[in-house]
Amino acid sequence: MLQTQRPQSGSLPSPILFFSSLILLLVFPLFPLAAVCLDGSPPAYHWDKGYGTGINSWLIQLEGGGWCNNVSSCLVRKNTHLGSSKRMVKQIPFSGILNNKHFYNWNRIKVRYCDGSSFTGDVAAVNPVSYDFSSWQWQDNPGSDIPPPYRGLKMVTNLHFRGARVWLAVVEDLLSKGMRNAENAILSGCSAGGLASILHCDSFRALLPMGTKVKCISDAGYFINTRDVSGGHYIQTFFDQLVATHVLILSLSPHRYNI
Ligand SMILES: *[C@@H]1O[C@H](CO)[C@@H](O)[C@H](O)[C@H]1NC(C)=O
């Protein structure tokens, strides 16, 4: 079983951008800082409101999209829709479980993924990484915003590693918008979002009222720690770098996740 606590420090109410899937209802930057995307922009979700018999049923899908495992890859991601709500389109077609006919009149929410850590980072400091770019190659990183003259210097990355705060801020925002009256609530996700739905299932359960029927679905969200086809340790190495970069030693520690 997994047990979670809230992110530790500085959990102020957070700005959330809220997009409707069908109609642009509101975009509201609520409060300052705390829960933000890699680039410091507010997190966001799309919401198609429930109605009729589905009005108190909630289906959440956590968006997937891999991870960024080091400063270079997080800097590249920062300038995409997977790292910044400034790069997100306001309307998207709902697909997968969100498009399943059984949930047609539920509240359907797609939480956008913009932290690069499956919603697990909880680092208060901005730009916590001083990085030696002496081995960094411009031609290998054409999408990056690090020009060659800065090679070898300490970088001002302006990166935020706050995925766990994004998770908590989104759930609290949804609770305030009616999810606290939920009769049914499902947390789902695919790939990096599927891993997030495993990691946050117990916190989801704990944040909802005792009477709510809660289920979690992880679609392709379990990444086996074994050798890859070429005999290497790709997964182990990659997740090791992910944990180091987003400082997950704190937010995934056994004190917080009873595993
Ligand atoms: C960062 O990780 C990517 C894989 O995501 C890898 O290709 C790249 O070489 C790494 N960069 C550094 C500086 O370690």
24 versus 121: which is more confidently predicted?
Answer: 121
Whether 193 and 61 have beta carbons less than 8 Å apart is answered as yes
Residue 73 forms part of a structural domain? yes
The 10s digit of each residue's pLDDT in 210-220 is 999 999 999 99
Domain limits for position 252? 24-257
Instruction: Give the tokens for residue 131.
Output: 């990085």
- What is the C-alpha separation between 175 and 7, in angstroms, rounded? 17
Q: Is 69 in the pocket of ligand 1 (CB under 6 A)?
A: yes
Residue 125 forms part of a structural domain? yes
At 126, the pLDDT band (50, 70, 90 cuts) reads confident
Residue 90 forms part of a structural domain? yes
Q: Is 73 in the pocket of ligand 1 (CB under 6 A)?
A: yes
| Ligand 1 pocket, mutate which of 68, 72, 138, 234 (most atoms under 8 A from CB) | 72
Residue 15 forms part of a structural domain? no
**How many other C-beta atoms can be found within 10 angstroms of the C-beta atom of residue 183?**
14
* Pick from 51-65, 131-145, 189-203, 231-245: least confident: 131-145
Given a cut of 50, whether residue 2 has pLDDT beyond it is: no
Considering the chain, what percentage of its residues have pLDDT values greater than 70? Answer: 73
Instruction: Give the tokens for residue 53.
Output: 């018999």
Q: Is 144 in the pocket of ligand 1 (CB under 6 A)?
A: no
At 123, the pLDDT band (50, 70, 90 cuts) reads confident
Considering only the C-alpha atoms of the chain, give the largest distance between any 2 of them, rounded to a whole number of Å: 60
At 138, the pLDDT band (50, 70, 90 cuts) reads very low
The 10s digit of each residue's pLDDT in 147-177 is 555 544 555 788 999 999 999 999 999 999 9
Residue 249 forms part of a structural domain? yes
Instruction: Give the tokens for residue 204.
Output: 């989801």
- What is the C-alpha separation between 65 and 117, in angstroms, rounded? 10
Residue 168 forms part of a structural domain? yes
90, 108, 87: which is closest to 99 by C-alpha?
108
At 116, the pLDDT band (50, 70, 90 cuts) reads very high
- What is the C-alpha separation between 255 and 250, in angstroms, rounded? 9
Residue 50 forms part of a structural domain? yes
Residue 10 forms part of a structural domain? no
Distance (angstroms) between ligand 1 centre and the Cα of 73 equals: 6
The 10s digit of each residue's pLDDT in 31-86 is 334 899 999 999 999 999 999 999 999 999 999 999 999 988 999 999 999 999 99
Q: Whose CA is nearest to atom 14 of ligand 1?
A: 70
Given a cut of 90, whether residue 259 has pLDDT beyond it is: no
Q: Which amino acid is at 192?
A: A
Whether 11 and 38 have beta carbons less than 8 Å apart is answered as no
* Pick from 107-111, 139-143, 240-244: least confident: 139-143
Structural domains counted in the chain: 1
Q: Point out which residues pair with 109 in neighbouring strands.
A: 47, 60
pLDDT at 148 (0 to 100): 52
